[in-house]
């Protein structure tokens, strides 16, 4: 079983029903994960959704050697689950959610 990545210090949990924008972000994350894993979207569970203010342009997922704009960015952290594996998706600044592989624990086959 994977260990969930630590939440952003300013994370505010969101609960259903989600507004249209948040639901579209969740749907986009689920579609992306389903394509990556070659599974049906119905097999993906939403573990949590949090509103966060990211501290810079990395949106909480900095890549080594990259420089990021130093500005606060409002966004979302969507944690999806397939079996025992958790998949953190980050978004912000009107960008679609992306899988933050740097925050994933050891991979477990779904």
pLDDT classification of 94: cutoffs 50, 70, 90: confident
- Beta-sheet strand order (sheet of 45-54): 12-14, 45-54, 73-82, 85-92, 95-99
Is the pLDDT at 88 greater than 70? The verdict is yes
pLDDT classification of 1: cutoffs 50, 70, 90: very low
Q: What is the pLDDT of residue 104?
A: 62
**What is the model's pTM?**
0.84
**7-48: pLDDT as tens digits:** 566 789 999 899 999 999 999 999 999 999 999 999 999 999
Report which DSSP code applies to 22: H
Domain ranges of the chain: 42-110
**66-85: pLDDT as tens digits:** 999 999 999 999 999 999 99
């Amino acid at each position: 079983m994977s260990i969930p990545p630590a939440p952003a210090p300013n994370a505010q949990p969101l609960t259903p029903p989600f507004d249209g924008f948040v639901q579209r972000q969740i749907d986009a994350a689920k579609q992306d994960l389903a394509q990556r894993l070659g599974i049906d979207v119905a097999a993906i569970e939403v573990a949590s959704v949090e509103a966060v203010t990211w501290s810079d342009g990395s949106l909480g997922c900095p890549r080594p050697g990259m420089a990021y704009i130093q500005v606060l960015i409002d966004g979302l952290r969507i944690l999806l689950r397939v079996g025992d594996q958790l998949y953190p998706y980050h978004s912000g600044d009107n960008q679609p959610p992306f899988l933050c592989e740097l925050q994933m624990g050891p991979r477990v086959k779904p």
